[in-house]
Amino acid sequence: MSTPHTIAEYIKQAEHNAEFAQYIRDKRSQYIDWSVTCLFYAAVHFVNAYFEKFGIPIPRRHRGDLGAPGRTNIVQSDPQLSAIYPEYRHLDDESRDARYELRRISEGDYDNFLRPLLDKISNFILPKVTNSDDMN
């Protein structure tokens, strides 16, 4: 297991990754395939903030094995997080496809499909993990 960070640190990193994804989309569209990876990593950090808030050990891997569940497994099986599993899994899959299968991402894909997936994840998690005590 990795050294835990604060909820605020995870949220800050998630927002940083999301901002970079938007920068790529707006200013460096020739690299737009990397925007989906940034969006997925933003989702990872939002999920890590949830894990930290609720005392769930943060796994080092996205997918688990017989000995330990991965982040994706926990998102799928957690009674609360399972509500965002389809969005999380889509971002994971799209990120992999862009990196390994050379899937082309268009600005329309980003605007109409990918960014809304992250927005749903952040809108679901942020109210559950943020309050003045947690953000210090």
Pick the closest to residue 63 from 55, 72, 54 (CA basis): 72
What's phi and psi for 135, nearest 5 deg?
-90, 0
Say if 50 falls within a structural domain.
Answer: yes
pTM, whole model, 2 decimals? Answer: 0.89
Give the pLDDT of residue 136: 42
Say if 30 falls within a structural domain.
Answer: yes
Distance separating alpha carbons of residues 34 and 43, to the nearest angstrom: 14
Which tokens go with 44? Answer: 């990872």
Number of domains in the chain: 1
Give the pLDDT of residue 79: 94
User: What is the distance between the terminal CA atoms of the chain, rounded to a whole angstrom?
Assistant: 23
Which CATH number covers residue 94? 1.20.120
Q: How confident is the model at residue 2 (pLDDT cuts 50, 70, 90)?
A: low
Give the pLDDT of residue 133: 53
- Please identify which residue in the block is written with the tokens 């997080």: 81
pLDDT digits (tens, 9 = 90+) for 50-99: 999 999 988 877 666 667 778 899 999 999 999 999 999 999 999 999 98
Instruction: Compute the average pLDDT of residues 9-16.
Output: 97
User: To the nearest whole number, what is the mean pLDDT of the chain?
Assistant: 89
Handedness of CA 46, 120, 80, 61 (dihedral sign): negative
Pick the closest to residue 40 from 103, 83, 99, 104 (CA basis): 99
Domain range for 61: 7-129
